Structure 1
Amino acid sequence: MAEKKVVSIEDRIPQLKQLRKKKANRRFVTYLILILLLILVIVYLQSPLSHIQSIKVEQNRVVSSDEITRLSELKTDQSFWGFDPGATEQKIEKHLEVNDVSISREWYNQVVIEVNEFNRVGYVKSDELFHPILENGNVLEEIELKVPRADAPILYDFSDSDLLPQLTQKLSQLDPSIVQLISEIHWDPDDSNQYQVKMFTTDGQEVIASIHNFIEKMEVYPSIASQLTADMEGVLYIDVGAYFKPYGTGEEDVELESADSEQEDTAS
C-alpha cells in the first residue's frame, strides 16, 4: 500500500502568499479602474463636452424650427443631462399647432425634438386676412396671413358657427391628396339644403356638394371629374347622385357615373 505524501505547512506558505498577492493585485486594478472612471465622469460633467452641442428639430412642417427651439427653452450651453425631457415636451405642446412632441438624447451631446403637428384643413378670411383652421376645429385667430398657404382650401361665408366645425372634421378625415384638389369652399345654402356648399377645385371645376355626405362624395370625385372633357363648362353636382349642368339654358344636364349609381345597378 502506497504511502500518502504529506505536504507540510511550511511548504504551502509560499503558495498561499502568492494567491493572496494575486487577489490583492486584482482588487487593486478593479479599484483603480473605478477611480479612473469616476474621475473621467467628473471631468466630463465639468467640461463643455457635457453641454448640449446641437438641437435638431424634425418632422415640423408649419411651426418653424426656431420657434420649437424657443419654446423648449433649451440652450446649447446648458447641461446635456440637466433638463427633464417630459417637462420640455409639455412646454412645446402649449403651441396650438403642435399635437405631440418626443425628445431624445443622441450620442453624448445632441438633442433631437420630433414634432407632430395638427394638420391645417382650411383658412377663413377676416378683414382681408386669413386665419388657419386645424383638424381639431381650432381657428388660429392670432395667426394672420395676407396670403394663405396652398396646403388647404379657403373657406368663405360660414356664418353658421355649427357648420364650420362639421366641415373641418370632414376635411380632416379626407385623404390629403383629395383635399389638395379643393381651392375654395363657400357655404351656399338653399331652401332644400342648409348644408349645401359650393367648391372650386384646382382642376377648374365648380362643384356643388353637401356637408352631410361630403366624405363619401369627395372620395369618388376624381372618378366623376374624369368623365368631363376640357370643353365642358358648367357646374358639377355631387350632392345627390352625380350630374353636370352646363352654363346657360340651352343644354341638357349630363348624368355621370358615381359610386352611388354603380351600387344601385348592382342591387338591381
Structure 2
Amino acid sequence: MKKVIDITERVPAMQRERKKRTNFKFVALTTIFVFIIALLLYFQTSYSDIKKIEIIGDEIVDSSFYLKQSGLKINNSMWGFKIADIEKEISASDWVQSVKVERKFLNRVIVTVDEWNKVAYISKDGTFYPILENGVIFQQSSELVPIDAPIFLEFDDESLRKKLLKELAQLNPQVLALISQINASPSNADPYAVTLFMNDGYEVRADISSLSSKLNYYPSIVAQIESVEGYEKGIIDIEVGSYYRPFSDEYAVGLAEEIDSEAAGGVEDNEEQSSQ
C-alpha cells in the first residue's frame, strides 16, 4: 500500500525555500546596485584622481625625468592614461632596459624602471662618461675621477669595447670591484690584449676573449702570491697561461734596456767625435 503525502505538510517547507531564494536574489541585486553606485561616485569624485606617483629604480637619471616622460600628474584621473603608452615612452631611452607601470588601490601609481647597469667609464678629453652594460655611452660627463667602476682608456673601437663589456658582465662582483682602470694594449700578435690596473696594487695583462674565465680566479692567484714570505706586488699575466713577475724585475729589465740604449748612444757619439 502506497503512502499518501499530505500536501499541507509540504507547503511550509516550500514557502521557506521560496522565501530564502527571494531574499538571496534581493541581497545579490542590492549588492550589485550599491557597487555600481559606488563605482559611479568614485569616477565622478576626486577619489579617482592620482594622489601619489612613485618612481622606483631611478639611479642613472633623476626621478623627475621619468615623471616628465610619463606625463602623469597629481590630480589627473587614474583612468585617463594607457599603461602601454607610458611604458613605451619611457622604454625609448637607451639606458632603460624595461619599465612597468601599475595602478595601485584607488589613487596611487607606481612606475618601476629597470635601468642598464653602469659597468665602466670612458675617458675623453679629460672627462669621464659612464658606459652601460648594453654598450651605450651615457652622455652625462664628470671631471671627477670615478671610483664606482673601472675607467677605460684607448677604447675608441666600439666592437672592442662591447666585447670587453660582455666579459666584465660575467665577472664576479667582488673581482669587478677590484678593477681601477683598463687600457687597450693591442699588438700584431694579440689585437685583444688589455692591461688592467687593480685597486690592490697589482697589474694584470690579459686577453679580452678569455678575461672573465681567467680573471675570476684573481683572488686565489693573489692569495698564492701573498702566501710567500717577503712577497712583492707585480704583474700577473693571464694572456696565455698564468705567471707572475714582481715589479722590481719588470722595471729592472726596462731600466737595463734604457741604460744599454743610452750607453750605445754614447759610444756612437764618441766614435763620431773621434772620426772628426
Shorter-chain TM-score: which interval?
Answer: 0.7 to 0.9
Residue of structure 2 in register with 1:241 after alignment? 241
Q: Which has the higher helix share?
A: 2
SS at match of 1:167: helix
Residue of structure 2 in register with 1:119 after alignment? 117
Residue 191 of structure 2 corresponds to residue 222 of structure 1: no
Residue of structure 1 in register with 2:173 after alignment? 176
Any idea what the Cα deviations from partners look like across 1:144-183, whole Å, max 9, x if unmatched?
Answer: 2223543321000124343112111211222322211111
Which stretch shifts more, 89-98 or 143-152? 143-152
When residues 67 and 149 of structure 1 are mapped into structure 2, their CA distance, relative to the original with a 3 A threshold, is farther
The CA RMSD over aligned residues, in Å, is 3.3
Aligned residue among 41, 54, 59 for 1:43: 41
Any idea what the Cα deviations from partners look like across 1:71-123, whole Å, max 9, x if unmatched?
Answer: 21111211112221121111111121110111222222222222211112211
Distance 1:248 1:18 in 2: 103
Aligned residue among 146, 149, 153 for 1:156: 153
When residues 177 and 71 of structure 1 are mapped into structure 2, their CA distance, relative to the original with a 3 A threshold, is farther
Q: How many residues align?
A: 248
Residue 88 of structure 2 corresponds to residue 110 of structure 1: no
Give the share of equivalent positions with the same residue, in percent: 33
When residues 5 and 132 of structure 1 are mapped into structure 2, their CA distance, relative to the original with a 3 A threshold, is closer
Per-residue deviation, 1:192: 2.6
Residue 56 of structure 2 corresponds to residue 79 of structure 1: no
Residue 210 of structure 2 corresponds to residue 208 of structure 1: no
Distance 1:34 1:92 in 2: 39
Distance 1:250 1:180 in 2: 26
Aligned residue among 73, 88, 91 for 1:90: 88
Per-residue deviation, 1:23: 7.5
Provide TM-score, normalisation by structure 1.
0.78
Per-residue deviation, 1:203: 1.4
Per-residue deviation, 1:241: 1.8
Provide TM-score, normalisation by structure 2.
0.76
Which stretch shifts more, 119-128 or 58-67? 58-67
Residue of structure 1 in register with 2:261 after alignment? none
CA contact (8 A) 1:182 1:202 kept: yes
Distance 1:248 1:45 in 2: 78
When residues 137 and 20 of structure 1 are mapped into structure 2, their CA distance, relative to the original with a 3 A threshold, is closer
Distance 2:113 2:86 in 1: 12
CA contact (8 A) 1:246 1:252 kept: no
When residues 232 and 45 of structure 1 are mapped into structure 2, their CA distance, relative to the original with a 3 A threshold, is same
* Contiguous gaps of at least 5 residues in structure 1: 254-268
Distance 2:5 2:220 in 1: 102
SS at match of 1:226: helix
* Contiguous gaps of at least 5 residues in structure 2: 254-276
SS at match of 1:163: helix
Per-residue deviation, 1:7: 8.2
Per-residue deviation, 1:52: 1.4
Distance 1:17 1:219 in 2: 82
Per-residue deviation, 1:55: 1.5
Residue 185 of structure 2 corresponds to residue 192 of structure 1: no
Amino acid at match of 2:147: A
Residue of structure 2 in register with 1:145 after alignment? 142
